[in-house]
Chains A and B, each alone.
Chain A
Amino acid sequence: MPSALSLLNPRPTLEQLECSPSRRDGISSDLEEDMRGIGCRLIQDAGILCKIPQATIATAQVLFQRFFYVASLRRFAVLDMASASLFLAAKLGECATRISSLTLAFDHVAKRLRGQPTDVFEAFSQEAYDYKTKLIVGEMQLLKRLGFHTTVQLPYGLMINYLRILGLEEREDVANKCWALLNDGLATPIYILFTPQALACAAIDLSCRLFAIRLPDSPPESAWYELFDTNREEMDIIIGWFARLYLRRGNIALGDLVARPENFAQENGDSVASNTLLGTPSTHWANIPIRLEELEALFKRQ
């Protein structure tokens, strides 16, 4: 039907995936993954500080991730683009936030994350002014380089509906786990590579494994996820990304988690990774560059 809204997420081309613009600028894939990771973490934390709804925070992280498939981390600083993404997403989500609150929140979160003293800059200082300018320029760059394709379809709503169809709507713990997984997954490329349907199914699949809940999957032709337009292959790749994320960040293998789900216990009802798996934040994040000067300094050292 031609009249359907075109609400599909834009997708990257093969060459963008194989050789991202940052890679071409000499940034290793490990470093890129770390820089993307810290950007997403900044957005998540600053978003919570600014009381922005999770759907909007997630949108911001997806926009941030997309941006670095068309632009290089060497030209655009993580901190600037992270704050610009959240600024833009807040407008798109009809919860526009003041620039000054955003810059303050990002400054605070960045300092805290890297173990620096969290002193606040003056409201009318040069620093505040620079922050603001960078944020506005970043927003325009984001729009321009994404061709104004700002549609972000998220899997959260689908996930809840799927749980309902599977008769799991009473299991709040499962829903919470799925929610947390989907939040953590924002730091990986899965939101760029897969459909929201596949993401929702993978989160449900993994959570149900952790809680030892059996889902209707036999005979194989009529497995539950087929109803939701997903296949085993996609779900396994997404779960692979989760495994990689937790392994990199907290050195915890997903296999261990499946064997001993109590390790996966969730605290404060928030994101799994951010609360239990990361260890002390400053040790992990301190050396990842979020400003262009820091990146260049890193290059010089090498």
Chain B
Amino acid sequence: MEVKKSKWDDDDDLVEPVKRPRKEKKKAIVKETPPPRILPTKSAAPPVHLTPDVRSTPPPNVPTPPPPQPRRLVAQSPFLQGCRHVDNYEKLNRIEEGSYGIVFRARDRETGDIVALKKLKLEKEKNGFPVTSLREISTLMMCKHPHVVNVREIVVGDKLDQIFIVMDFVEHDLKSLMEEMQSPFLSSEIKTLMLQLLSAIALMHDHWIVHRDLKTSNLLMNNRGEIKVADFGLARQYGSPLGNMTQLVVTLWYRAPELLLGQKEYSTAVDMWSIGCIFGELVNKEPLLPGKSEIEQLDKIFKLLGMPDEQTWPGFFKLPHAKNINFAQQPRGNLRARFPYLTENGFDLLSRLLAYDPEKRITAEEALRHPYFSESPPPKDPALFPTWPSKGAGEKRKVYASPSAPQAQHAALDDDLAGSIFAPSTESTGFRLKLGANALK
């Protein structure tokens, strides 16, 4: 029975369907308990929507409620319910093991979906649940973005210290993928990947979250040309004013100079430096600054970019560790020489990402609008990316006994694109197939 159909009834698109059907808990109506019942005033709400979440539509299938029953359908917000048991998943194989814990590949017994289970290491914890894991889980659950790895839920084992994060399984990580590839990504592909990465980081920064461990091995990639930012083990929210944060963050190769030099307060710019290093690595298919120690890391940075001075980095000489460093004067860097094939715009983006002064370093939001992404060639549609065998799923690359045909060899002479494992036929033919949804929107 349809009574007073409000104008909200139609925009069903606001209400996202709950992804995982949980049978009995589909009732989204919140009923209030005792206090005075006031007859509802008929509210003709103006189309002002500060948040898309609340009071969207009275659900169409709800039978006419008696007057004092409020009808509040809150889309998307989770239910109050405990963690499920890990037995809901069937372990398939171990993907990797690190200091943080073990990652398994597993199958959801109910839906058959393949997922990744990350088991947290909780031994010898004196202060309850470790704050780093807490940050990892809470930031990951906050960051719902097409290019951030999707956390489905947290499940527990029989004991209180067995905690697993259930994430979508993603086939590759960018680092081992690049090791397997024979030639670097195409520039159109690099643009797509960079845009995806930047959009995810822009969202995080917009919501006061710093990742603090961006590197190619923490960027997962699926077989549909999408990367997913993962491993939020060092991520945390920051505030204004910036509180105390440890300088011991970010894997050395991707660590920003202000961290290496012991600057007390730092913020989102450290992520942007890491993105600069990742950009360079994508272009050259080798790490940009593979230092072995902190001193060597700084030395490599200075060699690449030249020594900073009062102009490029005001306040540089006041940094805690700046006095202790006495490197040979290297007024000019060799960044351009390392990237001979990068266009002017591409080079400009790279040098802005690798700006010494954190204040001047480009932000994710600005980088997304950089002209590099609008010049030719345009970013490749993710649907057109090639696929590779997945290491995590235990798939192996087919090894061909015979040497490859000569065609690849001389083709590579005049065109560095041809003969790569992703023969870019769609690009050279001058038109682009529109396949699937454009994930960059």
Does A149 lie within 8 Å of B35, measured CB to CB? no
Q: Check A6/B144 contact, CB under 8 A, given A99-B128, A146-B82.
A: yes
Instruction: Kindly list chain A residues whose C-beta atoms are within 8 Å of the C-beta of B239.
Output: 94
Interface size counted on chain A using CB atoms at 8 A? 64
Closest residue of chain B to A241 (Cβ to Cβ) is B35
Instruction: Kindly list chain A residues whose C-beta atoms are within 8 Å of the C-beta of B134.
Output: 88, 91-92, 150
* Cβ contact of B38, chosen from A92, A189, A236, A241, cutoff 8 A: A236
Does B44 lie within 8 Å of A221, measured CB to CB? yes
Closest residue of chain B to A145 (Cβ to Cβ) is B82
Instruction: Please indicate which of the listed interface residues B16, B27, B36 has the most CB atoms of chain A within 10 Å of its own CB.
Output: B36
Chain A nearest CB, measured from B90 CB (Å): 21
* Cβ contact of B77, chosen from A4, A10, A70, A237, cutoff 8 A: A10
Does B35 lie within 8 Å of A13, measured CB to CB? no
* Cβ contact of B32, chosen from A137, A143, A150, A193, cutoff 8 A: A193
Q: Does A226 contact B (CB under 8 A)?
A: yes
Does A13 lie within 8 Å of B79, measured CB to CB? yes
Closest residue of chain B to A90 (Cβ to Cβ) is B131
Q: Does A16 contact B (CB under 8 A)?
A: yes
Does B54 lie within 8 Å of A195, measured CB to CB? yes
Q: Does B43 contact A (CB under 8 A)?
A: yes
Does A144 lie within 8 Å of B156, measured CB to CB? yes
Closest residue of chain B to A225 (Cβ to Cβ) is B43
Stretch with Cβ within 8 A of A (4 or more), from B45-53, B380-388, B394-402, B403-411: B45-53
Q: Does B304 contact A (CB under 8 A)?
A: no
Instruction: Kindly list chain B residues whose C-beta atoms are within 8 Å of the C-beta of A189.
Output: 33
Instruction: Kindly list chain B residues whose C-beta atoms are within 8 Å of the C-beta of A193.
Output: 30, 32
Dominant SS at the B interface? loop
* Cβ contact of A236, chosen from B36, B50, B199, cutoff 8 A: B36
Q: Does B80 contact A (CB under 8 A)?
A: yes
Interface size counted on chain B using CB atoms at 8 A? 61
Task: Give Cα distance in the complex from A145 to B83, angstroms.
Answer: 6
Instruction: Kindly list chain A residues whose C-beta atoms are within 8 Å of the C-beta of B32.
Output: 193, 237
Q: Check A139/B129 contact, CB under 8 A, given A8-B53, A233-B41.
A: yes
Chain A nearest CB, measured from B187 CB (Å): 25
Q: Does B98 contact A (CB under 8 A)?
A: no
Chain A nearest CB, measured from B138 CB (Å): 6
Interface hits, B110-142 → A, CB 8 Å? 127-129, 131, 134, 137-138, 141-142
Chain A nearest CB, measured from B12 CB (Å): 16
Q: Check A13/B80 contact, CB under 8 A, given A5-B144, A151-B138.
A: yes
Task: Give Cα distance in the complex from A122 to B192, angstroms.
Answer: 62
9 A-B pairs with CB atoms under 8 Å apart are: A1-B52, A7-B142, A10-B79, A13-B27, A94-B237, A136-B128, A140-B129, A237-B38, A243-B35
* A residues lining the B interface (CB < 8 Å): 1-18, 66, 69-70, 87-88, 91-92, 94, 96, 99, 135-137, 139-141, 143-151, 189, 193, 195, 197, 220-222, 226-229, 231-234, 236-237, 240-241, 243-244
Contacts A5-B142, A11-B78, A66-B80 known; 19 new A-B pairs at CB < 8 A: A2-B144, A2-B145, A7-B207, A8-B53, A13-B25, A69-B80, A70-B82, A87-B128, A99-B127, A139-B129, A140-B128, A195-B54, A197-B54, A220-B41, A227-B46, A232-B40, A233-B38, A233-B43, A240-B38
